[in-house]
């Protein structure tokens, strides 16, 4: 029996340091590393089940070639040699006939390890393939909102400092599930007297943990934040000195706030006016911290809403206080040498395709996509308007390669299905977006069957296609060393050798790290209050035909599709996907708890079990977690309901925008 250190590779801000027990080549136990200052010795309900996923009988073990119609998912085993030769030949033929842009890589955060997530792009950039806009399906709007205010490179209050905050707003995030390692810091803050408010249309475990829950109407967050700004301004509680030094466009912001009287905002958001007033005043007077989630940014006005919220700590000067400020992401703090290993240095101007519009991309008549490489993602389940995506994947003239751990819904359409290693089977380097630790993980067990790392697959293809770039000869350690080769002060004293020995290291941040206490990351240090955020009118609003707004926060056990086939988690999540409807809506539409009903939007219809509960706001349907379509009662994805419409900033997805009817 041996014990090994690793890093959780799931798409989660916590990037936990893990301890794995291995017996006879099998992982038998997974724990959080007690020595890691943020992990603090615990993992989470999903990842405790990872050993089951690692040794799951359905793991893909060999390269496979399709022998049925696309979508039917029948394959036969082949060799790596045959698979790589055919893929290389097809790729070359497509590039020669249609140009590099006919190739589309589609990937996201199936692993957060930098090497296995981003290194394959060197291959695609060397080919001149089409690129994905922003490379994120769900975070670009929140990021764009933040960066419109504070400039490039997102920073945040260090989680270790939150214990010094007196008022904490958990805004649009089920942090106990989606950022569970913030909880010990929240508890410490509470022990020191902090008051915690959860702002979310869906009452969940974070609401129960908080001292107070504001069940806000979805998509009204900008109105609430602007009304809070008005209360603070009317009381003269803004930090004039800080604003004089670091604000630009402040007059425009003041005017935008004036439109949102307490009464108007309370009625619009479905909240109590007097409570908004009291909390706004407390927010300005005390050390206040906001943990803002990405969920509330996935709608037509999400960029404006993010801006309105993240301007509040600038208005009150909270960034100057230890524990004050906000957190969306810490990702901008990692000053790594991202150019070479991902091929970004090649700087080719190519066609960009928004990954939220894959359905349309697969229908392009001009410059059509002829080859699709999917890795670290499952677009047939997770991308908007997924029934149209599944239609596109059926195209006979589309060559599809999928690198996967399991035969997902997307994999059913592959021409070649290649077995990928898990994060326990390959080395990788990890940043984080909920703390400031860099981490390195060695493999813990040997690859199952003939599984190979993504990096190996694309190096092999690069060789067969005779692509010239030294990077294709690099080992994982070479790539990591190049990534860490930065003279930024945050990287001082950090070497690959020390990281390899210790497993994790905190960035060399200044002793008292208070981001934005001396203004923004823009060259002029000014925080942009203009263009002032607005509560936008949405094109898609509840109406007589589609009266309910559908949101899809993480469930308690099923969050995204990565762990979506683990029986124990599916069972704990209720055995099938569920949608919560408020009792008043249930009465109005004649729906009983536990029945299955058709949920329809303009894009399509799905069948789901209904849970009648006031855990959801009246007028809101709350779908819990993203289930595999093939494990859902009707074989359909929740994203059969969503559309390719984009947000106001960052061209992000509008997953939280959809209006539906239940019938
Ligand atoms: S909390 Fe997040 S990082 Fe930690 S084990 Fe769970 S999914 Fe992984």
Domains of the chain and any CATH numbers: 2-54 (3.30.200.210), 64-137+344-506 (3.40.50.740), 140-328 (3.40.228.10), 548-662 (2.40.40.20)
pLDDT given at position 348: 84
pTM: 0.97
E strand or H helix that includes residue 660: strand 659-662
pLDDT given at position 531: 98
Ligand 1 centroid – CA 9 distance (Å): 8
Q: Whose CA is nearest to atom 4 of ligand 1?
A: 16
Token code pair at residue 259 = 């439109």
510: helix, coil or strand?
coil
Cis peptide upstream of residue 531 (ω within 30 degrees of 0): yes
Q: Do 260 and 225 touch, CB atoms closer than 8 A?
A: no
Task: Please work out whether the CB of residue 15 comes within 6 Å of at least one atom of ligand 1.
Answer: yes
Q: Do 648 and 637 touch, CB atoms closer than 8 A?
A: no
- Which one-letter DSSP state was computed for residue 109? S
Q: Do 377 and 106 touch, CB atoms closer than 8 A?
A: yes
Q: Do 329 and 294 touch, CB atoms closer than 8 A?
A: no
Q: Do 391 and 379 touch, CB atoms closer than 8 A?
A: no
SS3 content of the chain, % helix, strand, coil (to 5): 35, 20, 45
Task: Please work out whether the CB of residue 43 comes within 6 Å of at least one atom of ligand 1.
Answer: yes
Nearest ligand 1 atom to the CA of 43 is 5
Token code pair at residue 430 = 């990890």
Segment-wise mean pLDDT, segments of 10 residues, the chain, 663 residues: 97 97 97 98 95 97 98 98 98 98 96 96 96 86 97 96 98 95 98 98 97 98 98 98 98 98 98 98 98 95 98 98 98 94 88 96 97 97 96 98 98 98 98 98 98 98 94 96 95 95 97 96 98 96 97 82 89 93 97 97 97 97 93 95 96 94 94
Start-end of H helices in 545-631: 567-572, 583-589
Q: Whose CA is nearest to atom 8 of ligand 1?
A: 8
Q: Which of 47, 504, 558 to mutate to test the pocket of ligand 1 (most atoms within 8 A of CB)?
A: 47
Task: Please work out whether the CB of residue 435 comes within 6 Å of at least one atom of ligand 1.
Answer: no
Ligand 1 centroid – CA 447 distance (Å): 22
Ligand 1 centroid – CA 16 distance (Å): 5
Task: Please work out whether the CB of residue 481 comes within 6 Å of at least one atom of ligand 1.
Answer: no
Task: Please work out whether the CB of residue 12 comes within 6 Å of at least one atom of ligand 1.
Answer: yes
Integer CA distances (angstroms), 238 to 221, 235, 283, 284, 318, in order: 20, 8, 11, 7, 10
Ligand 1 centroid – CA 243 distance (Å): 38
Helix 273-285 and helix 221-234, axial crossing angle in degrees, nearest 10: 60
Q: Do 181 and 434 touch, CB atoms closer than 8 A?
A: yes
- Listing DSSP states for 583-640 in one string gives HHHHHHHT--TT-EEEEE-SS-EEEEEEEE-TTB-TTEEEE-S---GGGSTTS--GGG
Q: How far is Cα of residue 585 from the mean position of the Cα atoms in its chain? A: 30
Nearest ligand 1 atom to the CA of 32 is 5
Q: Tell me the β-bridge partners of 610.
A: 579
Nearest ligand 1 atom to the CA of 12 is 2
Q: Do 582 and 614 touch, CB atoms closer than 8 A?
A: yes
Task: Please work out whether the CB of residue 658 comes within 6 Å of at least one atom of ligand 1.
Answer: no
Q: Whose CA is nearest to atom 1 of ligand 1?
A: 44
DSSP β-ladder status, 659-662 and 596-600: antiparallel
pLDDT given at position 226: 98
Neighbours of 101 (CB within 10 A): 20
Ligand 1 centroid – CA 11 distance (Å): 8
Distance linking the first and last C-alpha atoms of the chain: 55
pLDDT given at position 562: 87
pLDDT given at position 156: 98
pLDDT given at position 557: 79
Task: Please work out whether the CB of residue 137 comes within 6 Å of at least one atom of ligand 1.
Answer: no
Q: Do 329 and 143 touch, CB atoms closer than 8 A?
A: yes
Nearest-angstrom CA–CA distance, 236 and 298: 33
Nearest ligand 1 atom to the CA of 14 is 3
Q: Tokens 């030094």 appear where?
A: 245
Largest CA distance in the chain: 72
pLDDT given at position 134: 75
Token code pair at residue 405 = 């751990």
**Nearest C-alpha neighbor of 20 from the set 8, 10, 36, 11:** 8
Nearest-angstrom CA–CA distance, 374 and 371: 10
- Which one-letter DSSP state was computed for residue 435? S
Q: At CA 554, angle to CA 155 and CA 600, rounded to 5?
A: 125
**Nearest C-alpha neighbor of 197 from the set 177, 167, 161:** 167
Token code pair at residue 374 = 């999917």
Nearest ligand 1 atom to the CA of 181 is 1
């Amino acid at each position: 029996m041996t014990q090994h250190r690793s890093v959780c590779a799931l798409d989660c801000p916590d990037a936990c340091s893990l301890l794995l027990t291995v017996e006879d080549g099998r992982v038998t136990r997974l724990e959080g590393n007690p020595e890691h200052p943020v992990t603090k010795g615990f993992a989470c309900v999903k990842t405790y089940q990872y050993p089951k996923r690692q040794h799951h009988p359905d793991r893909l073990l060999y390269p496979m070639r399709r022998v049925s119609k696309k979508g039917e998912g029948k394959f036969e085993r082949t060799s790596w040699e045959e698979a790589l030769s055919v893929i290389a030949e097809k790729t070359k033929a497509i590039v020669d006939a249609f140009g590099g842009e006919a190739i589309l890589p589609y990937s996201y955060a199936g692993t957060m390890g930098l090497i296995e997530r981003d290194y394959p792009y060197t291959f695609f950039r060397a080919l001149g393939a089409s690129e994905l806009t922003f490379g994120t399906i769900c975070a670009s709007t929140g990021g764009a909102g933040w960066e419109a205010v504070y400039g490039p490179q997102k920073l945040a209050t260090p989680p270790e400092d939150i214990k010094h905050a007196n008022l904490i707003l958990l805004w649009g995030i089920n942090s106990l599930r989606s950022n569970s390692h913030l909880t010990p810091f929240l508890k410490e803050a509470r022990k020191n007297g902090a008051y915690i408010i959860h702002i979310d249309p869906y009452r969940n475990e974070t609401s129960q943990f908080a001292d107070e829950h504001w069940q806000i109407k979805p998509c009204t967050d900008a109105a609430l934040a602007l009304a809070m700004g008005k209360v603070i301004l009317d009381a003269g509680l803004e930090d004039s000195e800080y604003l004089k030094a670091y604000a630009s466009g402040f007059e425009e912001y003041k005017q935008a706030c004036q439109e949102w009287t307490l009464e108007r905002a309370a009625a619009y958001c479905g909240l109590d006016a007097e409570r908004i007033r009291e909390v706004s005043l407390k927010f300005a007077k005390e050390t206040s911290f906001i943990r803002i989630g990405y969920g509330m940014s996935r709608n037509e006005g999400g960029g404006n809403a993010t801006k309105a919220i993240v301007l509040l700590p600038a208005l009150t000067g909270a960034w100057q206080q230890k524990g004050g400020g906000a957190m969306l992401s810490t990702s901008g703090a990692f000053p790594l040498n991202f150019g070479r290993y991902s091929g970004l240095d090649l700087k080719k101007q190519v066609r960009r395709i928004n990954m939220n519009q894959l359905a349309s991309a697969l229908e392009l008549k001009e410059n059509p996509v002829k080859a699709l490489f999917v890795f670290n993602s499952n677009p047939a389940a997770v991308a908007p308007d997924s029934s149209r995506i599944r239609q596109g994947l059926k195209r006979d003239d589309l060559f599809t390669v999928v690198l996967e751990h399991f035969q997902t819904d997307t994999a059913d359409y592959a021409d070649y299905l290649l077995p990928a290693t898990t994060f326990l089977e390959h080395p990788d380097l990890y940043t984080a977006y909920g703390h400031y630790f860099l981490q390195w993980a060695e493999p813990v067990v040997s690859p199952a069957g003939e599984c190979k790392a993504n990096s190996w697959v694309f190096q092999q293809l690069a060789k067969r296609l005779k692509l010239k770039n030294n990077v294709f000869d690099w080992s994982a350690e070479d790539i990591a060393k190049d990534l860490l080769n930065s003279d930024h002060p945050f990287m001082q004293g950090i070497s690959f050798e020390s990281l390899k020995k210790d497993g994790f290291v905190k960035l060399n941040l200044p002793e008292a790290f208070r981001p934005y206490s001396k203004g923004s990351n823009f060259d002029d240090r000014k925080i942009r209050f203009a263009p002032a955020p607005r509560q936008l009118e949405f094109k898609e609003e509840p109406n007589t035909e589609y009266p309910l707004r559908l949101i899809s926060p993480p469930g308690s056990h099923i969050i995204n599709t990565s762990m979506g086939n683990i029986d124990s988690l599916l069972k704990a999540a209720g055995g099938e996907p569920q949608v919560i409807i408020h009792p008043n809506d249930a009465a109005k539409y004649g729906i009983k708890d536990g029945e299955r009903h058709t949920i329809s939007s303009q894009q399509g219809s799905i069948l789901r079990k209904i849970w009648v509960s006031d855990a959801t706001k009246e007028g809101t349907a709350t779908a819990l977690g993203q289930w595999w379509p093939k494990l859902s009662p009707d074989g359909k994805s929740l994203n059969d309901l969503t559309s390719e419409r984009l947000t106001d900033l960052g061209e992000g997805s509008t997953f939280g925008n959809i209006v539906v009817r239940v019938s």
